[in-house]
Structure 1
Amino acid sequence: MHDDIKDSLLKKSRATRSEQRGRIISLTCTAIIVLIVISIFYFVASKGLATFFSNKVNVWDFLSKSIWNPGSTDSHGSPQAGALPMIIGSFGVTLLSAIIATPFAIATAIFMTEISPNKGYKILQPVTELLVGIPSVVYGFIGLSVVVPFVRHTFGGTGFGILAGTFVLFVMILPTVTSMSVDALRAVPRYYREASLALGATRWQTIYKVVLRSATPGLATAVIFGMSRAFGEALAVQMVIGNAVLLPHNLISPASTLTSVLTMGMGNTVMGSAANNALWSLALLLLLMSLVFNLLINKIAKRGRI
């Protein structure tokens, strides 16, 4: 009898066994995700670094030179793989679209949370979600049909270039930045607003000096997240930027981005060739920039929690 009671007390309950199974499943899934991420980094890095180790391309030349013709070699026998035009194009459309989208996104978020939190939120939230769900190719076709002719007739040139890509990316990242800005503003405690109003501040003074300043880390995270999406966008930008692997002289001259060159060239090269390795180097650069954006987001988020 005593042994039976002891065994029943030491026996694991059904809830404990279920918890252990759940923990094992969670750890297994986490380990698989980590393994996949490490594998992706290793695969892209092994292909991308072959340009510098196997094909003997200088890293500084790759980042600073403007001639992109990795299928041919220069006087030193190295492939002509200068990625500067694509780097400038990618950063150009990313920064300009973020600069344009940020005031619109923050103004919309303020309207949805502070000015008209009921009707404004009910009307604008479905619109924002709809913009998020539109495929990239649709944005590209709209940009090709509307934005490019508008830029051509208004600013001159062919209409293709960084400016057209900026307008398309502005619309694409606007819902993302807006949604995250709304979350950042809603995370500001209500008693902050009440204390400000109780001290005699107007509603606009409260929004500007209390709400926006308290939500600054979240707003900065939203902007960087939007920049991360803009930097990695391929199809829509490819359709309106012109895809000329040349240093852009102005905002309305045809240009290219890292993603546009990748999508155009990856299917037209032989695996293991110098041209293919150079494209993998562009992919590695994109991956590293995505990592930088994520690190910035995490740093800003931690600073906001302190």
Structure 2
Amino acid sequence: MDASRREQIDRLNKFLFKSTGLLTITLLGGIFLMLFSNSVLFFLDVSPVDFFTGSQWDPDTKYSFLPLLVSTFLVAVGSMIIAVPLGIFTAAYLSELAPRKVQMILKPIIEMLAAIPSVAIGFLGIVLVGPGLASIFGIQNGLNALNGAILLAVMALPTIVTISEDAINAVPKSHREASLALGANQWETLFRVTIPAASPGLIAAVMLGLGRALGETMTVLMATGNAAAIPEGFLDSVRTITATIAIEMGEVPYQTTHYYALFAIAAFLFLITLVVNFTGEYFANRLRKFHS
């Protein structure tokens, strides 16, 4: 193949990659514009003050975003309280302590969690986790924020473990050797050297896991009770933003205030997840620059 032919192929490849990148950005911008334009129509009928400060979501009379927002963050943050220490310690064990045979068994099992359909995990929340919580805490049913948090923690674990393990493996071996040479043992090296050095990647893992939890629909729809009111704790039934959209969009009359209200809450969820994912990417890029 002559030089001119290779140059033409290189130009074609550059054009294709550039076109696909621009297409992705265009699609993302188009989704945001669609959500934003419909949200504007909603705020022509409903005061933003009522939308952000009200205490109840009732499509017949009131459209308050606050109960849905509090419920979403309660479930998502609760899932991170469970998944983050479990995920990071699991990644540290796989990376630093586990024998090779154990790694070969555990890693595929953890990665297979990501392949379980969310509806199956939600079903387990109804028939297994929910009744267990009801029995432990002496409540009528276990369809509450804690149930959703436990299930979302399971769903976020593969993301957190995989990215955390990559971050820990990226720490130069010389860091560990220097720590051991100074008299530190393996545990001291892990907690005082390796994990702090991998912290940008660990933060990225947490943020991306949080984004996974915020965007989940079917599991929280099935397992949290769907009470559209501000919860007082993890044992209260909640309704997340994603569950509200899934429940109401199929039955809402077209081009009504209720219809545009669902676009409004979807737009804010889009912005929240965008910020969370950009934050995760920022820390992931810091890790790459640190080890480049």
State TM-score, norm by structure 1: 0.90
Which letter does structure 2 place at the counterpart of 1:267? G
Quote the Cα distance in structure 2 between the aligned partners of 1:18 and 1:295.
Answer: 34
Quote the Cα distance in structure 1 between the aligned partners of 2:127 and 2:40.
Answer: 39
CA RMSD of aligned residues (A): 1.4
Equivalent residue, structure 2, for 1:145:
127
Equivalent residue, structure 2, for 1:204:
187
- Cα displacement string for residues 72-111 of structure 1 (whole angstroms, at most 9, x for unaligned residues): 3xxxxxxx21111111110001111101111111111111
Q: Pairwise mapping of residues 186-225 of structure 1 onto structure 2 (< 5 A)? A: 186-225=169-208
Q: Secondary structure at the match of 2:253?
A: coil
Is the Cα contact below 8 Å between 1:156 and 1:252 reproduced in 2? no
Q: Pairwise mapping of residues 1-306 of structure 1 onto structure 2 (< 5 A)? A: 13-52=4-43, 54-55=44-45, 57-72=46-61, 80-157=62-139, 158-304=141-287, 305=289
Quote the Cα distance in structure 2 between the aligned partners of 1:111 and 1:120.
Answer: 10
Which letter does structure 1 place at the counterpart of 2:94? M
- CA displacement at 1:12 relative to structure 2: 5.8
Counting aligned pairs with the same residue, the percent is 35
Q: Secondary structure at the match of 2:8?
A: helix
Cα 1:130–1:301 shift into 2, 3 Å: closer
- CA displacement at 1:244 relative to structure 2: 1.1
Q: Secondary structure at the match of 1:204?
A: helix
Aligned length: 287
Which letter does structure 1 place at the counterpart of 2:118? S
Q: Secondary structure at the match of 2:58?
A: strand
Which letter does structure 2 place at the counterpart of 1:185? I
Q: Secondary structure at the match of 2:59?
A: strand
**Which ranges in structure 1 are unaligned for 5 or more consecutive residues?**
1-10, 73-79
Higher mean C-alpha displacement, 89-98 vs 166-175? 166-175
- CA displacement at 1:260 relative to structure 2: 0.7
Is the Cα contact below 8 Å between 2:204 and 2:282 reproduced in 1? no
Cα 1:30–1:303 shift into 2, 3 Å: closer
Cα 1:12–1:175 shift into 2, 3 Å: closer
Higher mean C-alpha displacement, 28-37 vs 221-230? 28-37
Quote the Cα distance in structure 1 between the aligned partners of 2:17 and 2:261.
Answer: 38
Quote the Cα distance in structure 1 between the aligned partners of 2:283 and 2:17.
Answer: 28
- CA displacement at 1:117 relative to structure 2: 5.0
Which letter does structure 1 place at the counterpart of 2:238? A
Q: Secondary structure at the match of 1:188?
A: coil
Quote the Cα distance in structure 1 between the aligned partners of 2:118 and 2:91.
Answer: 24
Which letter does structure 1 place at the counterpart of 2:54? K
- CA displacement at 1:71 relative to structure 2: 3.1
Is the Cα contact below 8 Å between 1:71 and 1:274 reproduced in 2? no
Quote the Cα distance in structure 2 between the aligned partners of 1:206 and 1:243.
Answer: 46
Is the Cα contact below 8 Å between 2:39 and 2:263 reproduced in 1? yes
Quote the Cα distance in structure 2 between the aligned partners of 1:82 and 1:180.
Answer: 36
**Which ranges in structure 2 are unaligned for 5 or more consecutive residues?**
none
Which letter does structure 2 place at the counterpart of 1:229? R
Q: Secondary structure at the match of 2:81?
A: helix
Is the Cα contact below 8 Å between 1:111 and 1:120 reproduced in 2? no
Quote the Cα distance in structure 1 between the aligned partners of 2:19 and 2:63.
Answer: 42
Q: Secondary structure at the match of 2:60?
A: strand
State TM-score, norm by structure 2: 0.94
Which letter does structure 2 place at the counterpart of 1:94? A
- CA displacement at 1:189 relative to structure 2: 0.8
Quote the Cα distance in structure 2 between the aligned partners of 1:169 and 1:29.
Answer: 32
